[in-house]
Amino acid sequence: MENSVLTIQTLTHFFGGLKAVSNFELDLPQGVIWGIIGPNGAGKTTVFNLITGVYRPSQGKIIFLGEDITNLKPHSIIQKGIARTFQNIRLFGNVTVLDNVRIGLHPNYHSSIWEAILRSGRFRKEEKRVRDEAMSLLEHFNLASRWDEKARNLPYGEQRRLEIARALATKPKLLLLDEPAAGMNPKEVDSLMDLIYKIKSEFNLTVLLIEHQMRFVMRICEHIKVMDFGETIAEGPPVEIQNNPQVIEAYLGKGGIH
Amino acid sequence: MKIPNFLRKSTVQFLLYSLAFYLVIYFLNQLNVLSGYPLLIIEISLIYVILATSLNLINGFTGQFSIGHMGFAAVGAYVSGTLTTLIWKLSVDQPIYQTLPLFVIALIVGGIAAALIGFLIGLPTLRLRGDYLAIVTLGFGEIIRTIINNIDYVGGPRGLLGIPQLSNFTLISIFTFLTLYVLRGIVFSSHGRAFISVREDEVASELVGIHTTKYKVLAFTIGAFFAGIAGGLLCHLIQIAHPTQFGFLPSFMVLVIVYLGGMGSLTGSVIAAFLLTILEKYLLPLGLQMLSAWTQPTFGFQVGVEWRMVIYALLLIIMMLFRPEGIMGMKEARFMIPEEH
């Protein structure tokens, strides 16, 4: 596709003898919100781990903005413009909310360690820039008043938001969200949805997300891929997916349709 | 009284406190209050400050479990000692303007040699974590010791003898303050936060774009450099470099200082270095002597100095039970935190 952000071809990954992901294909256009759903163990998070370089794929190709990123190290992939959050929140718990975001800004930081020791003019200017940028990101996420709090002391919903803020600090073009609504009540899910729309347009993002909560996925995603046992069993717009007998079977088992 | 604004700057405070500390000890020494053994204890404490803060960068800030820190100090000690004693044949009778520059060069060469070794040790840490890494660093310390034991040129198991006493309180103070200044500059910068992110969650750190490999190796390299300097200062103070000085037990002492002071607190390492050195070199021998004076006539046995290891272990256990985060936790004194901009 012409304007595709991420293209994945015949992506396959084995854990020992287990085929965790099999022939996964994706052509993600610029500026969309797409979702991957599927029962537990379907291989959704593995796909994210393959895209971000945590695992090396056994087979297949991942192309991001026209560049092959298949065998790059995670930090290089992130620096190219992909950011992600985690299913089980992975913040830097013992450091402050502000520092969590500032760490996300580090890859775009250019002063050397020598300049840090000597506190050069450029270093001080850059530290100020990093701090200001981090604070303005926190303001976006309504976390600015919490900047001095240790990340692990935040309530759950705020931790989720902080994780997204930290991901955005790396200045991504593509944002991968791994179960962003997990453990949230309906009201929180609604505000999360607003937040995703908001950041998508403000930061000019393309979003790919994994989710379990059907209500959420069906409402936010323009296009859904359904995985089961590593295979892609269906794909299409939400309405189609909702009524696809194969999908219902994967979730509810045979005889789920009456 | 209004305090002038520039005195509120933490860097100014850091310099003033350092200077004040130096002058107080210097004059107490001039007045013969602190001469001899007490001054030596303070000098050794300062060297332990360098050792502990540099280990803290590896263990406390970057979260790598290294327990062979004295191995790096051994490299620094033997390299600088070889230069001053065997190659340049310096002696304290020579005028200071001849010996001092050479000695400083020797120290820095020793530091660089240690840093190179630290870099090499840092490489396997890319694969190893936790206890596996600990065993590698422990083994490395022992390898260094064994190699030194077998090099006849530097005295083998007899140690390197006759090292000129080129270290003095002024020089040790300067190097200690420099170490603290450099480390606090690194720790409180974006680079410092990168080190800390590796400790907090290596996977997440890599996935916000931090080159974790680079920072782990860097921590070992910087930590080893300062340990090498400390080793050089130490052997030029006590005039001998001996393999046993750099074995597991001294490494263990540095580790205890880091944990006692608080992982990830430079201030804590400074406090604990003084506390433990004074305890070990002064209070404990005194206490055990007094205890012996009582047990000897009463029960007929002596409580020897080797009992200090028992006290160490007890101290560690008590601390882990009641204050596992150490004296300072992760906090720093204000003058140890530079202004942000």
DSSP string across A184-200: --HHHHHHHHHHHHHHH
- Residue from the list A105, A107, A113 with its beta carbon closest to the beta carbon of B186: A113
pLDDT-based confidence at residue B302 (cuts at 50, 70, 90): confident
| Residue A87 domain flag | no
Question: In terms of Cα–Cα distance, which of B55, B70, B48, B45 is closest to B262?
Answer: B55
Asked if the Cβ–Cβ distance from A124 to B341 is below 8 Å, we say yes
| A238 and A202 in a common domain | yes
Q: What was the ipTM of the complex prediction?
A: 0.92
| A207 and A131 in a common domain | no
Q: How many whole angstroms separate alpha carbon B212 and alpha carbon B194?
A: 8
Contacts with A175 from chain B: Cβ below 8 Å: none
Phi, psi of B189 (to 5 degrees): -155, 175
| Residue B6 domain flag | no
Asked if the Cβ–Cβ distance from B190 to A130 is below 8 Å, we say yes
| Helix, strand, coil shares, percent, chain A, to 5 | 45, 25, 35
Q: What is the pLDDT of residue B319?
A: 86
C-alpha neighbours within 13 Å on the C-beta side of residue A253: 0
User: CA of B189: which chain A residue's CA is closest?
Assistant: A116
Q: What is the pLDDT of residue A2?
A: 58
- Residue from the list B185, B191, B207 with its beta carbon closest to the beta carbon of A119: B185
* N-to-C CA span, chain B: 27
- Residue from the list A95, A117, A126 with its beta carbon closest to the beta carbon of B185: A117
- Residue from the list A99, A113, A167 with its beta carbon closest to the beta carbon of B193: A99
Q: How many whole angstroms separate alpha carbon B221 and alpha carbon B282?
A: 33
Asked if the Cβ–Cβ distance from A90 to B201 is below 8 Å, we say yes
Mean pLDDT taken over chain A: 92
User: What is the full DSSP assignment across A70-95?
Assistant: TT--HHHHHHHTEEE--SS----TTS
Q: Among A115, A147, A169, which residue terminates a domain?
A: A169
Task: Tell whether A99 lies on the interface with B, counting CB pairs under 8 A.
Answer: yes
| A74 and A9 in a common domain | yes
| Residue B304 domain flag | no
User: What is the full DSSP assignment across B95-147?
Assistant: -HHHHHHHHHHHHHHHHHHHHHHHHHHHGGGGT--HHHHHHHHHHHHHHHHHH
Residue identified by tokens 């060469």 is B109
* N-to-C CA span, chain A: 39
> How many domains are contained in chain B?
1
Query: CB within 8 A of B226, min separation 6: which ones?
Result: B50, B51, B53, B54, B111, B179, B183
Percentage of chain A exceeding pLDDT 90? 80
Q: Among A114, A137, A169, which residue terminates a domain?
A: A169
B17-25 mean pLDDT = 96
Q: Which pTM value belongs to this model?
A: 0.92
Domain containing B177: what range? Answer: 11-26+36-245
CA distances from A221 to A33, A218, A244, B179 (A): 5, 6, 16, 54
Work out the number of other CB atoms within 10 angstroms of the CB of residue B301: 9
Distance from CA of A96 to the nearest CA of B (A): 11
Segment A185-208, tens digit of pLDDT:
888 899 999 999 999 999 999 999
Handedness of CA A248, A250, A252, A253 (dihedral sign): positive
Residue B129 has pLDDT above 60, yes or no: yes
Percentage of chain B exceeding pLDDT 70? 99
- Pairing verdict, β A174-178 and A206-210: parallel
| A253 and A126 in a common domain | no
Residue A116 has pLDDT above 70, yes or no: yes
CB B262 within 8 A of CB B268: yes
Q: What is the pLDDT of residue B259?
A: 92
B203-221 mean pLDDT = 95
Residue B304 has pLDDT above 90, yes or no: no
Asked if the Cβ–Cβ distance from B208 to A125 is below 8 Å, we say no
B285-290 mean pLDDT = 78
> How many domains are contained in chain A?
2
Mean pLDDT taken over chain B: 91
Segment B109-121, tens digit of pLDDT:
999 999 999 999 8
Per DSSP, the three-state class of B247 is: coil
Q: What is the pLDDT of residue B295?
A: 80
Asked if the Cβ–Cβ distance from B201 to A91 is below 8 Å, we say yes
Task: Tell whether A166 lies on the interface with B, counting CB pairs under 8 A.
Answer: yes
Q: Among A169, A200, A217, which residue terminates a domain?
A: A169
| Residue A86 domain flag | no
Residue A121 has pLDDT above 60, yes or no: yes
| Residue B337 domain flag | no
Q: How many whole angstroms separate alpha carbon B119 and alpha carbon A241?
A: 54
Residue B81 has pLDDT above 90, yes or no: yes
Residue B293 has pLDDT above 90, yes or no: no
Segment A13-26, tens digit of pLDDT:
999 889 999 999 99
| Residue A88 domain flag | no
CA distances from B138 to A78, B126, B294 (A): 35, 17, 39
**Ranges of H-type helices in chain A:** 44-51, 74-80, 97-105, 113-118, 121-140, 156-169, 186-202, 214-220, 238-242, 245-252
Segment A36-79, tens digit of pLDDT:
998 888 999 999 999 999 999 999 999 999 999 999 999 999 99
Q: What is the pLDDT of residue B119?
A: 95
Residue identified by tokens 């008590």 is B318
CATH of the domain at A54: 3.40.50.300
Paired residues of A19 in beta bridges: A14
| Residue B146 domain flag | yes
Percentage of chain B exceeding pLDDT 90? 66
| A221 and A102 in a common domain | no
Strands lying side by side in the sheet with A18-29: A18-29, A4-15, A59-64, A67-68
- Pairing verdict, β A206-210 and A33-37: parallel
Residue A171 has pLDDT above 90, yes or no: yes
Segment A211-254, tens digit of pLDDT:
888 888 989 999 999 999 999 999 999 999 988 888 888 877 76
CB A90 within 8 A of CB A178: no
| A144 and A128 in a common domain | yes
| Residue A224 domain flag | yes
Domain containing A73: what range? Answer: 1-81+172-258
